[in-house]
Amino acid sequence: MDLELRHLKVIWAIAEAGSLTRAATGLGLAQPALSAQLKRMERSLGGELFVRGRNGVRPTALGELVLDRARVLVPAVTELQEEARRFSQERTERTGLPRFRLGGTHGPLLGGLVDRLATAHPSAPVTTYTSWSARELAGLLIEGRIDYALTGVCGESHPPASGRLVWREVATDPVFVMLRDGHPLAGRDEVPLGELAAERWANVPGDGCFAECFAAACARVGFTPDAVYETDTASCVHLVQVGRAVGLCRATFPPTTGVVTLPISGSPLIWRHVIGWYPDSPAASEGGTALAHARAVHDQAAEASPSYARWRRAHPGEP
């Protein structure tokens, strides 16, 4: 893992809070997600950054070294980003042309949004940036490096940086399960989560609370997931196709050869698609346009999934 500015901000936030729990609250993260992120940074830097104790955390010698650099770099880069944002805003105001720099987590809606915006605004530049991290996308919005972020959050969780960004809900979906075609449960209309207790699982990574929500849903029906392969979407699909795992997916996941997607009985896991932008950016004036296109893309994706289209007809008005 390469160290990035967002990592320095996290380390600084932990040091300022003096506690992983308080830092997680300030950063809008679940505490286990922050702990996992800190461990990845410590592995990358070659040692512990904080000593943990009953009264919180304090920096190690390595942590102090990193913090010394962070106290110089973070304000300097933040100032540069603010200047760049002002320059970009002035340029957009001069030309009068909209632009759509889209950020997104890996999912089925980003490509459709690009297509609709490029069709509706043929003279406007449309570019994309993808990341597993909704927090990274929020940071890019604040820094002025992207105009809109299309991402999602689990259940009733708040999107990152909710106090600084405008977030609008695109749609709310149940989370489905992916099974190989020919799996004993593939012919069902829906699958009770408990009947998958013996399975191994595949899912894409993220920095929200979804992993904790999934573990809690499994615990409520009496089991702990045997193993979770956290990997990219193509690898998740492959593991399902060869019968190595079952996968969790958004209900809008497109039809795929060798894979069946089915609702989980009772919809124990919910995914909210959201789109966000920085309120003082030029993009804010086109936020309603981007939201309307994103909602249209979601409706198209939902109807293109036979299992989700059936579920929606059977559960009108439900997420």
What pLDDT band is residue 95 in, cutting at 50, 70 and 90?
A: low
In this structure, the answer to whether residues 65 and 110 fall within a common structural domain is: no
In this structure, the answer to whether residues 26 and 138 fall within a common structural domain is: no
Task: Tell me, yes or no, whether 267 lies in a domain.
Answer: yes
In this structure, the answer to whether residues 70 and 114 fall within a common structural domain is: no
- Maximum Cα interatomic distance, the chain, rounded to a whole number of Å: 61
Task: Tell me, yes or no, whether 244 lies in a domain.
Answer: yes
In this structure, the answer to whether residues 46 and 141 fall within a common structural domain is: no
pLDDT at 52: 86
In this structure, the answer to whether residues 183 and 267 fall within a common structural domain is: yes
Residue 212, class by beta-carbon neighbours within 10 Å (0-12 exposed, 13-18 middle, 19+ buried)? middle
In this structure, the answer to whether residues 22 and 113 fall within a common structural domain is: no
CATH code: domain of residue 239: 3.40.190.290
pLDDT at 224: 92
What pLDDT band is residue 220 in, cutting at 50, 70 and 90?
A: very high
Strands 228-230 and 201-203: parallel
Task: Tell me, yes or no, whether 79 lies in a domain.
Answer: no
Q: What CA dihedral angle connects 114, 117, 119 and 120, to 10 degrees? A: 170
Task: Tell me, yes or no, whether 95 lies in a domain.
Answer: no
What pLDDT band is residue 84 in, cutting at 50, 70 and 90?
A: low
In this structure, the answer to whether residues 278 and 316 fall within a common structural domain is: yes
In this structure, the answer to whether residues 161 and 223 fall within a common structural domain is: yes
Using alpha carbons, list the distances in angstroms from residue 192 to 89, 122, 129, 213, 263.
51, 46, 36, 16, 9
Q: Based on the structure, what is the number of domains in the chain? A: 2
CATH code: domain of residue 9: 1.10.10.10
pLDDT at 114: 94
**Does the global pTM surpass 0.95?**
no
pLDDT in tens, 167-214: 999 999 999 999 999 999 999 999 999 999 999 999 888 877 888 889
316: which 2 tokens? 């009108």
Most confident of 18-27, 79-88, 108-117, 205-214: 108-117
Task: Tell me, yes or no, whether 241 lies in a domain.
Answer: yes
Residue 46, class by beta-carbon neighbours within 10 Å (0-12 exposed, 13-18 middle, 19+ buried)? exposed
| DSSP bridge pairs for 176 | 249, 263
Task: Tell me, yes or no, whether 239 lies in a domain.
Answer: yes
In this structure, the answer to whether residues 120 and 193 fall within a common structural domain is: yes
pLDDT at 92: 59
pLDDT in tens, 226-283: 878 888 889 999 999 999 999 999 999 988 999 999 999 999 999 999 999 999 888 8
Task: Tell me, yes or no, whether 199 lies in a domain.
Answer: yes
Expressed as residue numbers, the domain containing 42 is 5-74
In this structure, the answer to whether residues 185 and 229 fall within a common structural domain is: yes
Instruction: State yes or no: pLDDT of 140 exceeds 80.
Output: yes
Domain-terminating residue out of 56, 74, 92: 74
| Secondary-structure percent of the chain, ordered helix, strand, coil, rounded to 5 | 45, 20, 35
pLDDT at 97: 61
Instruction: State yes or no: pLDDT of 80 exceeds 60.
Output: yes
Task: Tell me, yes or no, whether 259 lies in a domain.
Answer: yes
Overall average pLDDT of the 78-103 stretch: 70
In this structure, the answer to whether residues 54 and 105 fall within a common structural domain is: no
Mean pLDDT of the chain: 88
Instruction: State yes or no: pLDDT of 31 exceeds 90.
Output: no
In this structure, the answer to whether residues 196 and 69 fall within a common structural domain is: no
pLDDT in tens, 293-318: 999 999 999 999 999 999 999 888 77
